[in-house]
Amino acid sequence: MAATAVVQDARLGESVGNSAKLKALARQASNAAAEYRDLAAARGDRVHQYCEQIALRAMGKPHQAAQAREALIANNEEAFAGRFDEWWETYQVQPLAAEVTVWNSSIGYAGTLDLVATIGGRLCLIDYKTRGTNRDGRVKPLDPKVVMQLAAGAKAEEMVIDPAAGTWEPWKYSQDPMLLGVAIGETEVQTVMANPEVLPAYWSKFWSLRQVWGATQKVGDAGMPLREVGPPPPPAA
């Protein structure tokens, strides 16, 4: 990314032969990856916000769907909204809950599910990912790690009802849900299902990572791990 940033910088031509200007370009290009990450995160937030508002509108709840779409338009990202709208209609999504915060007290983790819905009469837990487009004009595929996120969501024990009041209720969407990852791109939306045969393995990995995290916290709070030890006293004369 740094090399690409330098090559595409309009100031490169006038900087050739000028070490000070070249160093300035290099310093700026070194931040290319971080800037790309931040821009992608902001874009993902806008797309997720739009998806949430569409679900709220479909459930007859207060929403800001128009404002969310305007935010995408302002950043030349309306294509994401268009492809999502097509997906929503094609899959005949019937939303039950959007942006649901869940909690598992037995293991000790919390998270958020983008959407709980029925599709084709089947209960679905859905995680959205905003993805770029490859050279063939297709949306880039999802990372398999999404299976861990979905498996953790499926193992929830409680869900928040009112975050301001801090009220929760037992998790009620555990009836053999289909776990779906939805890659939202500018040219298409790709929907994939977590293979039920691999779910135990991915859940085991998530559980193990949670234990490692907990152990690391304990080690960090345990105190000084190493103490200097001096030599023994000299033998008595």
Q: Which residue has the tokens 């209960």?
A: 123
Q: Which residue has the higher pLDDT, 40 or 97?
A: 97
Question: What phi and psi values does residue 218 have, to the nearest 5 degrees?
Answer: -65, -40
Tens of pLDDT, residues 87-98: 999 999 999 999
Q: What would the two tokens of residue 105 be?
A: 């007290």
pLDDT band at 6 (very low <50, low <70, confident <90, very high): low
pLDDT at 25: 75
- Ranges of each domain in the chain: 20-219
Least confident of 5-14, 111-120, 207-216: 5-14
Confidence at 163, pLDDT banded by 50, 70, 90: confident
Q: How confident is the model at residue 21 (pLDDT cuts 50, 70, 90)?
A: confident
Residue 164 has pLDDT above 90, yes or no: no
CA dist., res. 47 & res. 72, Å (int):
7
pLDDT of 189 above 90: yes
Distance in angstroms (rounded) separating the CA atoms of residues 174 and 93: 18
Instruction: State the average pLDDT for the chain.
Output: 92
Distance set, CA 157 to CA 5, 35, 86 (Å)? 46, 37, 33
Q: Is the pLDDT of residue 40 over 90?
A: no
The listed CATH number (3.40.50, 1.10.760, 1.10.10, 3.90.320) that belongs to domain 20-219: 3.90.320
C-alpha distance from residue 14 to each of 3, 5, 20, 25 (Å): 17, 15, 11, 11
Residues 34-63, mean pLDDT to the nearest whole number: 92
How confident is the model over 75-90, as a mean pLDDT? 97
Write out pLDDT tens, residues 48-60.
Answer: 999 999 999 999 9
Q: Residues 159-174: what's their mean pLDDT?
A: 91
pTM of the predicted structure, to 2 decimals: 0.82
User: How much of the chain exceeds pLDDT 70, in percent?
Assistant: 98
Per-residue pLDDT at 219 exceeds 90: yes
C-alpha triplet 215, 216, 221: angle, nearest 5°: 95
Predicted pLDDT of residue 24: 77
Q: Do 130 and 187 touch, CB atoms closer than 8 A? A: no
Give the Å distances, CA to CA, from 204 to 48, 147, 171, 228.
Answer: 28, 12, 21, 40
Beta strands in the chain (DSSP E): 94-104, 109-119, 122-130, 158-162, 167-170, 178-184, 189-193
pLDDT over threshold 80, residue 135: yes
9's tokens: 């910088």
